[in-house]
Amino acid sequence: MTSDSRSDEHAQYDFIVVSNRLPVDRVIDAEGVETWQRSPGGLVTALEPVMKASEGAWVGWAGKPDLQLAPFTDNGTYLVPVPLSPGEIEQYYEGFSNDTLWPLYHDVIAPPSFHREWWDAYVSVNQRFADASARIAAPGATVWVQDYQLQLVPKMLREQRPDLTIGFFNHIPFPPYGIYAQLPWRKQVIEGLLGADVIGFQRVADAGNFSRAVRRLFGYATRTPEIHVPDGPSGHRSVIAKAFPISIDVASFEELARRPDVQARAQQIRDDLGNPSTIMLGVDRLDYTKGIRHRLKAFGELLRDGATKPGETVLVQVASPSRERVAAYMQLRDEIELTVGRLNGTYATISHPVVSYLHHGYPREEMVALYLAADVMLVTALRDGMNLVAKEYVACRHDEDGVLLLSEFAGAADELKNALLVNPHDIDGLKESMLQAMRMPQRERTTRMRALRRRLVDNDVARWSQSFLDTLRHANHHSDAR
Ligand code: GDG
């Protein structure tokens, strides 16, 4: 999709989404002409119907440093690029967002770095996003802010525009107080979030952690899901903190999985791997939260023990490149690639690798073909807000076959109870579950997959955005009535 037209500078919108990244990527074609391509992310798909119905606007960074771009309309949505300098990308994005908040919110699996200059950049970039949103919001508009990079925006917006209805959704976990309390700016972040009318989380436990942090740090009264925030000399506002588990566009994944060319590709993948009895698959951004090392360790031990052998089982691991300028990610890549090299060096034969490791991003069709080719899907995250890969695997398996092995530390485990739930820290347990998955009788595979699919179909991404926005609408009426 390319940009349609430039729009006028004084346009005002009733519905605005604010996220770190705009839903489009800038591409320069062979003739050097600049166009915009819709990024394939879940959020874009989730909000597409809502954006279309409301002729909404989207505020976000265009993904390249120092781009000063005028707002433009793309496919019916008004896009407002927020510029970031190279220094801000380093301090606000790679620094505070991805090296302070990300590890802190994922149970300090990696040590978070706390730097005051990074915080200063986070504050000033959040202010820029808030200002850009306030400028284009019509009186009484609804603004939906997304994710941990922008936690201060709700309060900043409310200060400028008390007429707005403000929602916030946190895509990653919210940690227990004992961990959250490490953050030197713990009070400012919570004050930032409490500027919203509704704060959405992935799991009930995340919403609970947030409400507890509010009680501990501010002593505000809470009555689940409401938090009473003092407002004005004697009154208070009520803020809702509640779980809205995100999902995927189930029908579009299933449609791809039914396409004959995608099915042929799945067969081709199986053939190319030498038609082993079991193909195990991992699909993750290369991130230390995803438990890739744990899964490699367990698989390596199964090979060492002789519980499975090359030619019989192969592990395909797609590790898509991510945050490559952050030190912890460079180190993780080295460790994983060393481990994969050792496993193949020790156990593979010329005709049979034991791990097929792919450090690439792939088109969605190829991902779906991989899901169809995989007998066992490994989702072993040490901590994960939701994990959409688990849901995508289930959506693709219209043949009601395949086994999902799912970490209980991924948000998806709250819903996908018919998966084989695992504690990835327990390597023996992980090995047993892998073997159980490899040997599971057809009938049990079908019973489990059928139940998983029922659950997923009931709760797809349209339902997620609808229920969040319904709650937001209702929350606002509630305050009006006071
Ligand atoms: C955050 C939270 C939460 C991956 N590699 C390729 C590719 N992907 C796609 C997957 C999936 C998405 O990226 C990853 O989503 P996850 O949910 O698994 O994980 P995060 O990126 O960490 O997302 C997470 C999510 O936000 C939503 O709220 O669930 O907990 O951490 O859709 O398929 N897609 C393509 N090629 C790849 O190589 N096309």
323 C-beta closer than 6 A to ligand 1: no
The protein residue whose alpha carbon is closest to atom 3 in ligand 1 is 386
Q: Is residue 1's pLDDT more than 50?
A: no
446 C-beta closer than 6 A to ligand 1: no
The protein residue whose alpha carbon is closest to atom 30 in ligand 1 is 385
387 C-beta closer than 6 A to ligand 1: yes
CA distance 106 to 173: 6
Distance 166 CA to ligand 1 centre (A): 26
Confidence class of residue 48 from pLDDT cuts 50, 70 and 90?
A: confident
pTM for this prediction: 0.95
The string of DSSP letters for 34-61 reads EEEEE---HHHHHHHHHHHHHT-EEEEE
The string of DSSP letters for 240-267 reads EEEE------HHHHHHHHH-HHHHHHHH
365 C-beta closer than 6 A to ligand 1: no
321 C-beta closer than 6 A to ligand 1: no
* 3-class secondary structure, 364: helix
From residue 219, alpha-carbon distances to 68, 192, 211, 214 in Å are 43, 16, 10, 7
Q: What pLDDT, on the 0 to 100 scale, is given for residue 6? A: 46
CA distance 388 to 361: 16
Confidence class of residue 46 from pLDDT cuts 50, 70 and 90?
A: confident
Bridge partner residues of 169 (DSSP):
146, 200
353 C-beta closer than 6 A to ligand 1: no
Q: What pLDDT, on the 0 to 100 scale, is given for residue 42? A: 66
313 C-beta closer than 6 A to ligand 1: no
Q: Which amino acid is at 251?
A: A
> Among 151, 145, 146, which Cα is nearest to 119's?
151
Q: Is residue 67's pLDDT more than 90?
A: no
Q: In this predicted model, what pLDDT tens digit does every residue of 309-341 receive, in sequence order?
A: 999 999 999 999 999 999 999 999 999 999 999
Distance 390 CA to ligand 1 centre (A): 10
Distance 231 CA to ligand 1 centre (A): 38
The preferred substitution site among 145, 379, 388 for testing ligand 1, maximizing ligand atoms within 8 Å of CB, is: 388
Q: In this predicted model, what pLDDT tens digit does every residue of 243-298 receive, in sequence order?
A: 999 999 999 999 999 999 999 999 999 999 999 999 999 999 999 999 999 999 99
* Ordered structural domains, the chain, with CATH: 3-246+463-481 (3.40.50.2000), 250-459 (3.40.50.2000)
320 C-beta closer than 6 A to ligand 1: yes
Q: In this predicted model, what pLDDT tens digit does every residue of 340-379 receive, in sequence order?
A: 999 999 999 999 999 999 999 899 999 999 999 999 999 9
Query: Does the N-terminal peptide bond of residue 260 adopt cis geometry, omega within 30 degrees of 0?
Result: no
Binning the chain into helix, strand and coil, the percentages to the nearest 5 are 45, 20, 30
Q: What pLDDT, on the 0 to 100 scale, is given for residue 34? A: 80
389 C-beta closer than 6 A to ligand 1: yes
The protein residue whose alpha carbon is closest to atom 21 in ligand 1 is 285
Q: What pLDDT, on the 0 to 100 scale, is given for residue 43? A: 77
Q: Give residues with Cβ within 8 angstroms of 454, minimum separation 6.
A: none
Q: Is residue 481's pLDDT more than 50?
A: no
The protein residue whose alpha carbon is closest to atom 34 in ligand 1 is 364
Task: Report whether 424 contacts 294 (CB < 8 A).
Answer: yes
Distance 23 CA to ligand 1 centre (A): 15
The protein residue whose alpha carbon is closest to atom 1 in ligand 1 is 171
